[in-house]
């Protein structure tokens, strides 16, 4: 009887299956159908990533899943050693072919040419061909040496890249996106369940049959088509839709996916280091952004007697709360955000104000320029707001001044008669908008002039 050992490595999110003998045809087909690949050098089957079905198969065959005994760095080192051994083998082959070619070249001392018509011509040509063949093989083996050395270096670089802080932080972002995808499906199913349970009359069911909620359909297309063709009654459609939504909400596979992603997030965050506790001022906007990143559906936060209350139209993610409402003190929210590894984004610096003023003939200098450090300059023209809005959207924007204290509107020169691609850009003063005083930086320029 075949004995199996199954392992899981959180470093690369892969399942590995070891067997003490060759698998029978049926077991081999099951293993291959779930995406396991045979790794001949390691003598094991490896899955590219964890899934519930692959985990179930490993538990069925091995009884339990153990932690992988080798780390990513150790596996990379072992693979690099194998590749270095291949490079050494090809180098020995290259040297052997070179020596064989050199020995054959002794038949042509001092560049002795082949004597055409002589009785030695046939042998000399065979010797020359063998010499050229050995030289070609030596060159190919020499190129293979460089290839395998490059592969060995690449394996080590890849292992270092996987363990770098930047890569780990990006992996956390990817895991959070996967968590939101799974939670979004649960949220939509829970919302559909509420809607279908409220629809009791045939008229209400017919109205919702082809409706969308948050850009997602309330029922499956096949069921809607059957209802439209008269194969399903309104109550049948309601019952089927309720069962489908309830099945998604109660899906053990989907909840296992979410638990697995949360475990991977905890592992990656532990290796990346603890998240600093947020000591700034909490606001409802911060809490809503935090809940959305972890999969909450349209969360709403507001101040309460205890601190802040967060609500959602469906159940909040289970790792945050098992209800539609969560109320904590300010310190409680800070501890929760730190526990799940959430970092409040730093506030972006405010942009300088957009000013509408007459430059009195002065050219406005922008903050951008060419590689020689020359700043873009803009002459000013006047127009109404309506005319400015009629300009193509891609041809108008706001430019930051060279001093960085204000911005001004930019658009194509309306008086230019040439082709549009060569039309110069000018600063715009809106005649029917509020006029601001000329900035001090421009006043100082005019006085200096």
Mean pLDDT of the chain: 88
Query: What pLDDT does 257 receive?
Result: 94
Query: What pLDDT does 64 receive?
Result: 93
What average pLDDT score do residues 368-382 get? 83
Lowest mean pLDDT among 264-268, 276-280, 283-287, 367-371: 367-371
Terminal C-alpha separation, the chain: 96
**Residues 41-79: pLDDT tens digits?**
889 999 999 999 999 999 999 999 998 877 777 778 888
pLDDT band at 444; cut points 50, 70, 90: low
Distances (CA, A) of 30 to 45, 60, 338: 12, 12, 43
**Residues 231-251: pLDDT tens digits?**
999 999 999 999 999 999 999
Q: Where are the alpha helices (DSSP H) in 316-394?
A: 330-339, 385-390
Tell me how far apart the alpha carbons of residues 330 and 328 are, in angstroms, rounded to a whole number: 7
User: Which residues, including other chains, have CB under 8 Å from residue 135's CB and lie 6 or more apart?
Assistant: 97, 98, 101
User: What is the percentage of the chain residues whose pLDDT exceeds 90?
Assistant: 43
pLDDT at 445 over 60: no
pLDDT at 449 over 60: no
Query: What pLDDT does 446 receive?
Result: 52
Query: What pLDDT does 102 receive?
Result: 85
**Residues 70-118: pLDDT tens digits?**
777 777 888 888 888 888 888 898 999 988 888 888 888 767 787 787 7
**Residues 118-140: pLDDT tens digits?**
777 888 888 888 888 988 999 89
pLDDT at 304 over 50: yes
What average pLDDT score do residues 422-439 get? 91
The DSSP secondary structure of 101-113, one letter per residue, reads HHHHHTTSGGGPP
């Amino acid at each position: 009887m075949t004995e199996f050992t199954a392992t899981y490595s959180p470093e690369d999110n892969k399942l590995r299956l070891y067997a003490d003998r060759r698998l029978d045809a049926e077991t081999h087909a099951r293993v291959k159908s779930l995406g396991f690949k045979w790794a001949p050098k390691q003598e094991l089957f490896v899955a590219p990533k964890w899934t519930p079905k692959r985990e179930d198969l490993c538990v069925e065959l091995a009884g339990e899943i153990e932690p992988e005994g080798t780390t990513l760095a150790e596996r990379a080192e072992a693979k690099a050693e194998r590749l270095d051994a291949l490079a050494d083998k090809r180098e020995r082959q290259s040297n052997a072919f070179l020596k064989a070619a050199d020995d054959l070249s002794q038949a042509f001392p001092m560049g002795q040419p082949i004597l055409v018509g002589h009785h030695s011509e046939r042998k000399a040509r065979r010797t020359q061909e063998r010499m050229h063949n050995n030289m070609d093989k030596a060159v190919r083996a020499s190129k293979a040496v460089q290839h395998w050395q490059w592969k060995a270096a690449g394996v080590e670089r890849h292992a270092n890249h996987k363990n770098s802080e930047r890569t780990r932080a990006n992996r956390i972002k990817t895991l959070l996106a996967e968590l939101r995808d799974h939670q979004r499906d649960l949220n939509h199913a829970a919302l559909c369940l509420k809607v279908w349970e409220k629809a009791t009359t045939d008229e209400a069911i017919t109205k919702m049959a082809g409706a969308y909620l948050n850009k997602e359909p309330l029922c499956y297309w096949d069921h809607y088509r059957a209802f439209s063709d008269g194969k399903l009654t309104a109550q049948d459609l309601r019952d089927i839709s309720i069962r489908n939504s309830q099945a998604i909400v109660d899906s053990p596979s989907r909840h296992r996916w979410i638990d697995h992603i949360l475990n991977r997030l905890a592992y990656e965050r532990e290796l990346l280091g603890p998240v600093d506790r947020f000591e700034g001022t909490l606001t409802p906007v911060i809490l809503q952004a935090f809940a959305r990143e972890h999969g909450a559906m349209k969360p709403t936060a507001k101040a309460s007697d205890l601190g802040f209350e967060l609500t959602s139209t469906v159940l909040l993610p289970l790792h945050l709360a098992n209800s539609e409402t969560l109320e904590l003190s300010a310190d409680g929210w800070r501890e929760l955000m730190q526990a799940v590894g959430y970092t409040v984004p730093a506030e972006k610096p405010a942009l300088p104000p957009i000013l509408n003023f007459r430059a009195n003939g002065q050219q406005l200098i922008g903050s951008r320029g060419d590689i020689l450090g020359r700043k873009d300059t803009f002459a000013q023209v006047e127009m109404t707001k309506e005319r400015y809005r009629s300009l193509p959207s891609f041809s108008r924007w706001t430019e930051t001044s060279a001093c960085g204290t204000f911005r001004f509107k930019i658009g194509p020169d309306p008086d230019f008669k040439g082709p549009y691609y060569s039309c110069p850009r000018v600063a715009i003063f809106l005649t029917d908008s509020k006029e601001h005083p000329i900035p001090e930086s421009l006043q100082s320029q005019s006085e200096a002039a």
